[in-house]
Structure formats: C-alpha cells, structure tokens
C-alpha cells in the first residue's frame, strides 16, 4: 500500500502510542509467571507476535477490543513444547526473547519469521544458549532463522558480543530467572543500545525479578549482567501499565520541529528507562524550542530554523531515521555516528535512509558506521520513495515529505502497523495532507 504526503503544516495535540519495547517484555513476563493484566499495551503486528508465542508455549493473551488492556494467563514458570512452528513474523524482539524461552522447554522448539527476519543475525544468542546447557542451531547453519532449540538449559555463564543486539542480553536475563542456576551474561565487547537493557531491568523489577549489571574494570564500565535462577514472575496486584513510546514519539516531535504552525504537543511522554527520550534533547539542540512537562507527560515543540548536529546513536539506533529526516531540513551537516548496528534491523536503515532521502534531493554521505546528511546542500523535492517494508523508514520519510517541494508517494505504508498503527491518521488530525492510498 502507498501513502501520499503533500507539503503541509501541522499543529495541535497528539498522543504517542504505548511503548513497543515495554509491551513485548510485559506480555512475556506476565506469560512466564501466573499471568497479569497489562494496561495500555501497544497492540501492533510485533506485539501480537509475542502474544502468539506465549500462547504457543501454553499460555493465553486476550487483547481488549478497545486496546486498553491485555489479559495474560501465564505458564507458571514452565513453558511447554509448542505444537507447531513458532512464527515470529517480522518481529526481531519476539524472535530473540522467545528463542531464549525455548531454551527452558523440555523438548524441541522451531522458530521462524518472514524473509526480513530470516536475514537477521541470531548466532550469538544460539551460542549463548549452548553455553547454558541447551542445544540451539540455525537450520541453514548461517546463524539466521529458522532456528531449532532443544532444552532445558540449566544456567551458568554465557559470553556474548555486546555490539550486535542488546536483545540478546534481554533474552538471557528474562529466561535466566527461570533456570536452576541463574545466568551471568559476560560481554565480550561494548554493549550497544544499553538503554533497552535498562527497560528490561525495569520490567523485571515490576514483576518481582531481581537482575543487575555487574561491575567492569572501571567505575563506568559494565562487564555484564546477572540474574538469579528460581525467581517467579509476579506483577504487583497482578497488573502492569505500559508507558508511552519515545521511538514513535520522535516522528511527531520531528514533524512539529519542521512543519509546526506554530507547535505540536505530544501526550504520553512519561519519564521511563527509554533511551529514545534523547530525541527531545536532539530536537532542542537542532534549534527547535521544546518544553517537556515531565509531571504531565507532555512535550511541546515549535517549528524553527534547524541547524545540523552530530549524534551518537550507539544507544539509540531506532532514532537514526528520524534524525536523518531532520538533518535533510536543517542547515549544515547532521552527522549520525556509531551506527553500524543500525544496519541489522528490519532493513539496513543506514543505506535505506541514504538512498531514499537522495531520491528526494538530499545530499548524503554514507559510511559503514555513520551517515552524514548535508542539509545546506539539500533542497527536498517530492518523489516516489520506498519504505523498505520498515515502519521506521516509512514514518521518517513522511516527516521529510511534509516540507518537500511537491508531492511524495511512499511505498509500503502499511508497515507502520508494526509500531504505530494509525500513524497517518494522527498526521491528518494534526492538519497534514498525508493519507494511505488503496
């Protein structure tokens, strides 16, 4: 499906969807325990994949028709052998977390996904499960899905690289709480996307599971993580509430910064462990007036002439598309560094943003670990661009299209359902000429 976006201004108030990262972890945590009611979940293609996985292991997840809650019946710490292949669709988070849970099963679990997910690296996680006593392999012997996992694992120490995906750490911690011996995760390299592990620790704590970072050689270094085994999952009063999603919020804030007339207010910005809250500081550094009322959970951003900045996305890979779109509007260079791991998402997001912004007239320089957008050499023009079957690419290109000269057609707009169902409707409510085309 295509989306059509015309130059337009935006104003008013919008609500960010609930956090995808928190929703995945909360549904799985509730599923691994005796169940819970998860309030304000993100109901999307990705989180439904995690819900289906919980059901494959013997639990159940029922989303309310109005999307306000998910009632989870849990596995009481004992996931069963799935009757069929576990299909994780396009959800990398589901694949990583559920692969580790499969290591707890006294039996065989087979996991797969769509063509994009089957191209993403899983090898370090498979190696870690082997170190913990499970048997885990790729059917194609290339470290990619389909995967076959035989358990049960007992726990111990798993040594993994930290620069491929923080989801490996999350997976091992969440499953490790249910092993006999617990799990120590030893990092071989610096951990990228560390705030996502902070989210995991936050959710584990809310479900009564203690896990912690372990000290490195210096005061600031993290050598790894530890979780004791034999810990039950139990949410206080059987309930958990999901905060708003700063990754999704980034597109609304960026829209306000480039096309606000004069401002956009985003609700749901409650402080949490999400590293992508850094988008607020980035937009402000680029020159847009920003007011974050943390108590009210609202952020207001005004349109302004933006200036290029340098941003390290080592901890915030999902922000690269948004920052690149902002850079195409800003004066001067916007350099996005420490970005190689962003190539291993739903698509290679570094190349995708470089090539699609170039179609719109942007001047860009792509390196293996960086992307520079030369805003001073760019005049954005409407064009036909490809969202690369990636929700974040689609939404970032829609932001750039708001201020391009002429109309823009974005292929694959349906993929916003992964994290921000109704995204184009929200833009329209803010006054943008942006809508899907049947």
Instruction: Decide: 108 and 149 in contact? Cβ < 8 Å.
Output: yes
419 has binding-site annotation: no
20 has binding-site annotation: yes
Instruction: Decide: 297 and 267 in contact? Cβ < 8 Å.
Output: yes
Sheet with 36-39, strands from edge to edge, namely 60-63, 69-73, 36-39, 239-241
21 has binding-site annotation: yes
349 has binding-site annotation: yes
96 has binding-site annotation: no
- Name the residue among 4, 54, 10 with its Cα closest to residue 33: 54
Written as six digits, the tokens of 185 are 């995760």
241 has binding-site annotation: no
Instruction: Decide: 246 and 279 in contact? Cβ < 8 Å.
Output: yes
Distance CA 168, CA 58 (A): 23
118 has binding-site annotation: no
Distance CA 110, CA 82 (A): 8
Distance CA 202, CA 186 (A): 20
52 has binding-site annotation: no
285 has binding-site annotation: no
Distance of CA 299 to the CA centre of its chain: 21
Q: Which residues are catalytic?
A: 318
165 has binding-site annotation: yes
78 has binding-site annotation: no
Q: Which residue ranges make up the annotated binding site?
A: 20-21, 25, 92, 120, 165-167, 193, 318, 345, 349, 392
Q: Which residue ranges make up the annotated binding site for 3-phosphoshikimate?
A: 20-21, 25, 165-167, 193, 318, 345
Q: Which residue ranges make up the annotated binding site for phosphoenolpyruvate?
A: 20, 92, 120, 167, 349, 392
């Amino acid at each position: 499906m295509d989306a059509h976006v015309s130059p337009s201004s935006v104003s008013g108030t919008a609500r960010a969807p609930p956090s995808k990262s928190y929703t995945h972890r909360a549904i799985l945590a509730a599923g691994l325990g005796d169940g819970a009611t998860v309030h304000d979940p993100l109901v999307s293609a990705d989180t439904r994949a995690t819900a289906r996985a919980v059901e494959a292991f013997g639990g159940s997840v029922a989303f309310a028709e109005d999307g306000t809650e998910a009632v989870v019946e849990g596995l009481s710490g004992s996931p069963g052998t799935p009757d069929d292949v576990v299909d994780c669709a396009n959800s990398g988070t589901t694949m990583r977390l559920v692969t580790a849970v499969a290591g707890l099963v006294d039996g065989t679990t087979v996991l797969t996904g769509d063509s994009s997910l089957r191209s993403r690296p899983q090898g370090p996680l498979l190696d870690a499960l082997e170190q913990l006593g499970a048997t885990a392999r790729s059917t194609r012997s290339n470290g990619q899905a389909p995967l076959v996992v035989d358990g049960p694992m007992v726990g111990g120490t798993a040594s993994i690289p930290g620069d491929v995906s923080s989801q490996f750490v999350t997976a091992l911690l969440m499953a490790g709480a249910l092993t006999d011996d617990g799990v120590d995760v030893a990092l071989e390299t610096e951990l990228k996307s560390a705030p996502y592990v902070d989210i995991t620790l936050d959710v584990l704590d809310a479900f009564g599971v203690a896990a912690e970072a372990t000290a490195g050689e210096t005061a600031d270094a993290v050598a790894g993580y530890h979780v004791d085994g034999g810990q039950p999952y139990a949410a206080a009063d059987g309930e958990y509430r999901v905060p708003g999603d700063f990754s999704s919020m980034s597109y609304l804030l960026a829209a306000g910064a480039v096309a606000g007339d004069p401002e956009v207010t985003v609700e749901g910005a409650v402080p949490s462990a999400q590293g992508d809250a850094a988008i607020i500081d980035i937009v402000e550094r680029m020159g847009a007036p920003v007011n974050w009322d943390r108590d009210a959970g609202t952020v207001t951003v005004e349109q302004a002439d933006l200036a290029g900045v340098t941003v390290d996305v080592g901890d915030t890979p999902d922000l690269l598309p948004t920052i690149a779109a902002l850079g195409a509007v800003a004066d001067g260079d916007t350099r996005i560094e420490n970005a190689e791991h962003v190539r291993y998402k739903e698509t290679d997001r570094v190349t995708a943003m470089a090539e699609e912004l170039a179609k719109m007239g942007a001047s860009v320089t792509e390196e293996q670990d960086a992307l520079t957008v030369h805003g001073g050499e760019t005049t954005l023009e409407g064009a036909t661009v490809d969202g690369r079957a990636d929700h974040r690419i689609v939404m970032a290109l829609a932001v750039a299209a708001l201020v391009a000269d002429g109309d823009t057609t974005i292929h694959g707009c349906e993929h916003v359902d992964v994290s921000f169902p109704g995204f184009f409707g929200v833009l329209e409510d803010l006054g943008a000429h942006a809508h899907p085309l049947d």
